[in-house]
Chain A
Amino acid sequence: MTKQKNPFWSFFTSVYLTITLLVFTVVMSVVGTFIPQQDAAREFVQAIPPGLASFLQTMQAFDLFHSVWFFLIMLFLSLNLIVCSLNRWPLTWKQFRGAPLSGEDDLFRGLSPERVFLCDEDVGTMTGRMEGFLGRKYRKIGKTQEKEDAVIICGEKGRYSRFAVYVVHLSVQLLILGALMGAYWGWEGYVNIGEGETADAIDLKGGKGSKALPFTIRCDKFMVAFYENGAPKTYRSDLTFLKDGKTIYQGPLLVNHPVSLEGIRVYQASYGSSPDGRASLAFSRGGKEGKLIKLGPGESFSLPEKAGTVQIVRLEENLMQMGPAVKIMVRSGQGEVSFWIFQHIDKIREMNPGVTEQVPMFNPATFKPYLFVLKGIEERYYTGLQVSRDPGAPLVAAAAVLMMVGLIGTFFSSHRRIWIKIQRLEEKTKISVAARTNKHPVVLDREVRQLTEQIKVSLEKGST
């Protein structure tokens, strides 16, 4: 073939190239797990000499798996695979289509004695019997009358497994293609949305700016539940997806259960609490408790009969290790007065007797005749969503299925052929069993042994 003289072609047909490229991939992957990558690299850069840092930066060592180097290795591997496959294809095709006996002249030469039998029956009888034995496990593909008194029958198994290795290599190509599609047309980013708030854009990963979404996400509620041992049990966001003011999807989002809309997938990734929670406040006058009021910082309400207005000035989840507290300011005809209201005021009094007298700021009854009670601070959560789009993912999934099929065909199947020659030699009929396989000789040997066992047993039975 003229192809083989082409230096480009012969370079890419080399298996050493494949092995070299695979070793390169291994080395690069090892380096990539020891040098912090992407976002993790930022801290690392601060800790090493600036000269080294800028060198590594130029070498794209902080994003090795998306670097030019990695891309080149993948490209070469891909070309190597294509060229190797094309190079071997004609031979495989010939073997696949191959006539059962072509080019196998020395098939019956040098057979081990267990594979040769002698008997008295004539060729016709024995041919029928041999066809029966061979047909139990093998598909019959040929019968040739060699000479007047010699017949060769042939059976085979696993012909299609010759293509299995091409299926595996095709799947690798599709995998690389799918990964490239994901890298070029896909994106990944994060957005935090407070309860009751909406977002219509996300921050792309690696500080690559922001991206507008084709819809708006509203976080209606975020919930986190814990096990008794303190480990988290559930993270759940109730989300509403809106487009042009209309709800297109509404439902909960949980870890392991992303929401997929218009090719974009939304994941529950993290959460946190906003500094602006809401205080549940109650007040009483002369032992008569009023209703519960919920307020955020800066908000205010009026006391009955125009006695004054109360404004939440500060809200602390844990003030001076004494638990939740709010600072309120009461404005009335007598002027302004501000003081703290602790949720656990009874306990604080118990532990520090006389504290509210010594520190008037801590006395919930400062604005007489009212007594304020803090029932609790409702935390306001925000949900951390990961949003991504990967148009290559379906291709990668298809590649995975194809690879599994190909691997099973490659490793657990082989093209096995068995020939049985039945010929008359003067007084006796000679039966010879020959076999060939393209791989896994152990499997073929076992099957031939089973077959010769059967022949042996039947001949012994026949002769007695």
Chain B
Amino acid sequence: MTNTMILSWVTFLYFGAFVFYLFRLVFGKEFWGKAAFCAVLGGLGGHTLGLLLRWKESYALGIGHAPLSNFYESLIFFAWAVVMLYVIVEWRIKNRSLGVFVLPVAFLLMAFASLAPNISDRIQPLVPALQSNWLTSHVVTCFMGYAAFTVAFAIGIMFFLRNISLFSFIPEADVLDELIYQHAVLGFVFLTLGIMTGSVWAHYAWGSYWSWDPKETWSLITWLIYAVMLHARYVRGWKGKRMAVLAIIGFAAVLFTYLGVNYLPGLHSYLQS
């Protein structure tokens, strides 16, 4: 299938971008930064094309659904959303230092999707429970949320590395703090929407808008962690290091919500294949 071929090229572009960002760091030449950003843009373009093509191919197969229905497709979309947000951040803050931290995440997601032995990259037809108009809105909002939390996590890591001389180009603490906050907010709003669309869907598919299924419960846990983070900032004025720590804890909860709960029994079993 053409789409999986394009997507594996995208994986290499992201890896290339990561290496270029690393060169920029080591040699201090802006040339590498520009090369890296070109690779990111090329990768994102190919990524978008690959997703659209996969969508089109599913129609050609007579299955016809948005490429958001299994573990492989969710990983690919997750990586797409992360890179998309990264491009916006780099363009907004005019600082390329974040790339060294975000691009490897995107690369790993893509590589995991295509290399892990038990993940099928085939376009599969939808089982009855997934045949819903809420599928697309639920998956898109959830993964936009996850992607924003991933960026917040990467900036949180940067916060702790900024005093190391190799990373001297990292923006000052205030800028990082503001970026962590903005991405936590973005992620929080998208996660809220994701939980809501999921609830509406569950109301139509499972007979209850909330069943305390492990994935539901863990999404609530993630939501509460970020709620605590935002309250701590608004009411107690937490900034800097504490926010960075919470961004990292929050991301751990995101990872568990996404991957960890698959090892617990529950209703969200589509991801196991």
Among B14-22, B50-58, B72-80, B209-217, the stretch that binds chain A is B209-217
Contact A23 B125 (CB under 8 A): no
Among B3-11, B105-113, B157-165, B222-230, the stretch that binds chain A is B222-230
CB-nearest residue of chain B relative to A84? B235
Among A28-36, A275-283, A325-333, A357-365, the stretch that binds chain B is A28-36
Chain A neighbourhood of B203, CB < 8 A? 393
| Distance of B82 from chain A, by nearest CB (Å) | 21
Chain B neighbourhood of A188, CB < 8 A? 207-208
Chain B neighbourhood of A297, CB < 8 A? none
Q: Roughly how many angstroms separate A404 CA and B189 CA in the complex, as a whole number?
A: 8
| Those of B157-193 within 8 Å (CB) of chain A | 178, 185, 188-189, 192-193
Contact B131 A18 (CB under 8 A): no
Contact B227 A22 (CB under 8 A): yes
Is A216 among interface residues, defined by CB-CB distance under 8 A? Answer: no
Q: Roughly how many angstroms separate A258 CA and B206 CA in the complex, as a whole number?
A: 9
Contact B128 A407 (CB under 8 A): no
A-B interface pairs (CB < 8 A), number? 99
| Distance of A265 from chain B, by nearest CB (Å) | 7
Is B234 among interface residues, defined by CB-CB distance under 8 A? Answer: yes
Contact B221 A269 (CB under 8 A): no
CB-CB under 8 A for A227 and B125, given A267-B206, A393-B203: yes
| Cβ contact of B128, chosen from A33, A234, A400, A442, cutoff 8 A | A234
Chain A neighbourhood of B261, CB < 8 A? 33
Among A4-12, A122-130, A238-246, A249-257, the stretch that binds chain B is A249-257
Q: Roughly how many angstroms separate A433 CA and B32 CA in the complex, as a whole number?
A: 42
| Cβ contact of A15, chosen from B192, B193, B236, cutoff 8 A | B236
CB-CB under 8 A for A400 and B125, given A30-B221, A33-B261: no
Is B87 among interface residues, defined by CB-CB distance under 8 A? Answer: no
Q: Roughly how many angstroms separate A15 CA and B230 CA in the complex, as a whole number?
A: 12
CB-CB under 8 A for A404 and B193, given A29-B217, A232-B127, A386-B207: yes
Contact B220 A231 (CB under 8 A): no
Q: Roughly how many angstroms separate A258 CA and B208 CA in the complex, as a whole number?
A: 11
Contact B124 A400 (CB under 8 A): no
Q: Roughly how many angstroms separate A233 CA and B206 CA in the complex, as a whole number?
A: 17
Is A40 among interface residues, defined by CB-CB distance under 8 A? Answer: yes
Is A37 among interface residues, defined by CB-CB distance under 8 A? Answer: yes
Q: Roughly how many angstroms separate A232 CA and B217 CA in the complex, as a whole number?
A: 28
Q: Roughly how many angstroms separate A139 CA and B239 CA in the complex, as a whole number?
A: 32
Q: How many B residues, CB 8 Å from partner?
A: 42
Could you give, for residues 29-69 of chain A, a 1 whenever the CB lies within 8 Å of some chain B CB and a 0 otherwise?
Answer: 11011101100100000000000000000000000010000
Is B117 among interface residues, defined by CB-CB distance under 8 A? Answer: no
Contact A29 B124 (CB under 8 A): no
Contact A255 B205 (CB under 8 A): yes
Contact A255 B231 (CB under 8 A): no
Is B204 among interface residues, defined by CB-CB distance under 8 A? Answer: yes
Is A321 among interface residues, defined by CB-CB distance under 8 A? Answer: no
Is A229 among interface residues, defined by CB-CB distance under 8 A? Answer: yes
| Cβ contact of B207, chosen from A25, A269, A404, cutoff 8 A | A269
Contact A439 B207 (CB under 8 A): no
Contact B228 A22 (CB under 8 A): yes
CB-nearest residue of chain B relative to A224? B128
Contact A229 B207 (CB under 8 A): no
Contact B210 A26 (CB under 8 A): no
Is A451 among interface residues, defined by CB-CB distance under 8 A? Answer: no
Q: Roughly how many angstroms separate A65 CA and B221 CA in the complex, as a whole number?
A: 13
| Cβ contact of B212, chosen from A23, A34, A37, A269, cutoff 8 A | A37
Is B255 among interface residues, defined by CB-CB distance under 8 A? Answer: no
Q: Roughly how many angstroms separate A258 CA and B132 CA in the complex, as a whole number?
A: 12
- A-B pairs with beta carbons under 8 Å apart, 19 shown: A15-B231, A15-B236, A26-B221, A29-B224, A30-B221, A33-B217, A65-B217, A229-B125, A231-B125, A232-B128, A256-B129, A256-B204, A256-B205, A397-B200, A403-B192, A404-B192, A407-B188, A411-B188, A439-B234
The 3 closest A-B pairs by CB, nearest first: A255-B128, A386-B207, A33-B214
Given contacts A15-B231, A34-B264, A404-B196, 12 further A-B contacts (CB under 8 A): A33-B261, A37-B212, A232-B127, A255-B131, A256-B129, A256-B131, A256-B205, A257-B204, A265-B207, A267-B205, A393-B203, A400-B196
